[in-house]
Amino acid sequence: MSPLTAEAVFVAPRTLPEVYTALEALGPAATLLSGGMSLMPMLNRGIGPRDAIVSLGRVDGLAEVTLRGGRLSIGATATHTAIARHPLVARSAGVLATAAGGIGDLQVRNRGTIGGAVAHGNAGADYLTVLSALEATVVIGGSAGERRAALGDFVLGLRSTDLRHGEVVTAVEVDGSAPDAAAFLRYHRVQGAAPTITAAAVIRDDRTVLAIGGATPTPTVVRVSSVEQALAAVDAACAANPLGDAHNPPDYRRAMAAVHTRRVLEEAAA
C-alpha cells in the first residue's frame, strides 16, 4: 500500500543534479527515499513528512563500488546484498561485507542501501558501527558541490546527522587496503530485528580501532591501547550518554557493551 497522500509529489530523477534541483524546488518538507527499509514503515505509521518524496532509486551510477587511489568508494544506493557479495568489498573491507550480510533479513538486504542507513543515523545500526571502526568518510553532494566528512563528525546524535537540506549522501569511503585483522559482532533478539549491540574492531599496523553501537546515541569509538583501557573508555561513554528502551534498558546495554568490547577484540586478535 502507498503511504502517500493523494496530493503527494513523487519524483525519481535519473541524475544527482536533478535530485538537487528537485530538493530545492520542494523545500524542507521533501523526504529523500533510498531503499525505503526504514523510511517506508515510518511513513506507513504516519511518522514524518510524506507530501514530497524524492527517490534516489533511479539515479544512474549511484550504486557503484570502486577502488581508486587507495580508497574504496561505495555508492549510496548500493544494497546490503550487493555490498555483502562484492569482491572489491570482500578484498578491501571484508568486515563491512560481514556486517552487510547480517542486516535484517534477505528482503531488507535486497532493498536497503548503505547511503540510506548512514543518512538515517540510527543508534546501533550495523553500518555506523563498522564504518566507525573503519574510520570511513561520508561523501555528501549538493548543488553547491561535494564535501566530505568523517563519519564521526557526520552523525551528530540519535537519528540525527549533519546532512543539510538539499544535500544527499552520495557515497561512503574507506581505506582500500585490507586491515591486518578485523571483526564484527551483531547481538540481536530475533531474525530481522534491529541489533541491540553492534561491535567492530579493525587492526591496521599497530593501531586498533573499536566501535560499539547500540549503547550510546552514536557509536562509541575507541583507539585501543589495551582491553582494560577499551573497557573503561566504553563504560565511561555509556555512563555519560546512556541509551535504552523498555526492552533493553540502559544498564543492560551498558553491560553488553562491555561484553562485546571484550569479545570483538578477542575475535579480531584471534
Partner 1 sequence: MYIGERVEGRNNRLVVAGAGTYVDDVRPEGCLVLAILRSPHPHARIRRIDVTAAEGRDDVELVLTGESLLAAGIAIPPSGSYANFTPRMTVKHPLAVGKVRYVGEPVAAVVAHDLVGARAALDALMVDYEVLPSVGNALLALEPGAPRVEDEWPDNVMVEYPFEKGDPAAVLGATEPSRIRRGTLVCNRIASTPLEGRGLVADYDPHRRYLTCWASTQSPHILRTLLAGALDLPDSSIRVIQPNVGGAFGGKIPMFPEDIVTAHAAIVLKRPVKWIEQRHEYLPAGGHSRDVRCDYEVAFAADGRITALTTELIADIGAQSTFLGWLMAIVSAGCIPGSYKVDDVRVRLRCVVSNRGPWQAYRGYGKEVSAFFLERILDEVADAVGRPRDEVRERNFLTPDVFPYEQPSGWITDSGDYSGTLAKVKDLIGWEGFAARKAAARAGGRRLGIGIGHELTPEGSSRPDSLLSGTDSATVKMSPHGDVTVLTGVTSPGTGNETGIAQIVADCLGASLDRVRVVQGDTELCPHGNGNYSSRSLTFGGSSAHLAALVVHDKIRRVGASMLDVAPGEVRLDGHRVIAPSGAEVGFGAVAATIYRSPHARHMEGVEPGLEVTRTFKMDNVHHQPEKDGRYNQYPTWSFSTAACIVEVDEETGVVRIEKFALVHDSGMVVNPLLAEAQLHGAITQGIGASLYEEIRYDDAGLPQNLTLREYTLPGMRESVDIVLGHQSTPSPFTMMGMKGVGESGISAPAPAIASAIEDALSDLGVRLTEVPFTPARVWAAIQEAR
Cβ proximity to partner 1: between 13 and 195 the closer is 195
Is there binding between residue 68 and partner 1 (CB under 8 A)? no
> Contact between 191 and partner 1 (CB under 8 A)?
yes
Instruction: Report if residue 148 touches partner 1, rule: CB under 8 A.
Output: no
> Phi and psi for 51 in degrees, rounded to 5?
-85, -20
The answer to whether residue 259 forms part of the interface with partner 1 (CB under 8 A) is yes
SS3 263: helix
Q: Which of 199, 218, 187, 213 lies closest to 262, judged by CA?
A: 199
Is the CA virtual torsion 221, 222, 227, 233 positive or negative? negative
Q: Which is nearer to partner 1, 74 or 268 (CB)?
A: 268
- Structural contact between residues 207 and 223, judged by C-beta atoms closer than 8 angstroms: yes
Tell me, by CB under 8 A, how many residues bind partner 1: 28
User: Can you tell me which of 10, 27, 44, 207 binds partner 1, judged by CB under 8 A?
Assistant: 44
Select from 28, 45, 68, 270 the one that contacts partner 1 (CB under 8 A). 45
Task: With beta carbons less than 8 A apart as the criterion, state whether 53 and 33 touch.
Answer: yes
User: Among residue numbers 219 through 248, which ones bind partner 1 (CB under 8 A)?
Assistant: 245-248
Candidate segments 40-48, 77-85, 88-96, 109-117, binder of partner 1 by CB under 8 A: 40-48
Considering the complex, state which of residue 154 and residue 187 has its C-beta at the smaller distance from partner 1: 187
Contact between 75 and 64 (Cβ < 8 Å): yes
- Residue 193 makes CB contacts below 8 A (sequence gap 6+) with none
- For partner 1, the closer of residues 206 and 245 by Cβ is 245
| Residue closer to partner 1, measured from CB, 3 or 115 | 3
- Which one, of 23, 17, 75, 16, lies nearest residue 53 by Cα? 23
The owner of cell 542486516 is: 103
The reply to whether 270 sits near partner 1 by the rule CB under 8 A is no
2 near partner 1, judged by CB under 8 A:
yes
Q: According to the binding rule CB under 8 A, does residue 194 interact with partner 1?
A: yes
For partner 1, the binding residues in 85-124 under the rule CB under 8 A are 105
CB of 259 to partner 1, least distance (A): 5
Length of the chain: 270
Strands 181-188 and 195-204: antiparallel
Alpha carbon distance 30, 224 (integer Å):
41
CA 263 to chain centroid, in Å, comes to 22
Position among 27, 61, 157, 249 found at the interface with partner 1 (CB under 8 A):
249
Q: State the minimum distance, in angstroms, from the CB of residue 1 to partner 1.
A: 5
Burial of 5 (0-12, 13-18, 19+ CB in 10 A): exposed
Contact characters 169-188, partner 1, x per CB under 8 A = ------------------x-
| Chain residues that interact with partner 1, rule: CB under 8 A | 1-7, 41, 44-46, 105, 187, 189-194, 245-249, 252, 255-256, 259
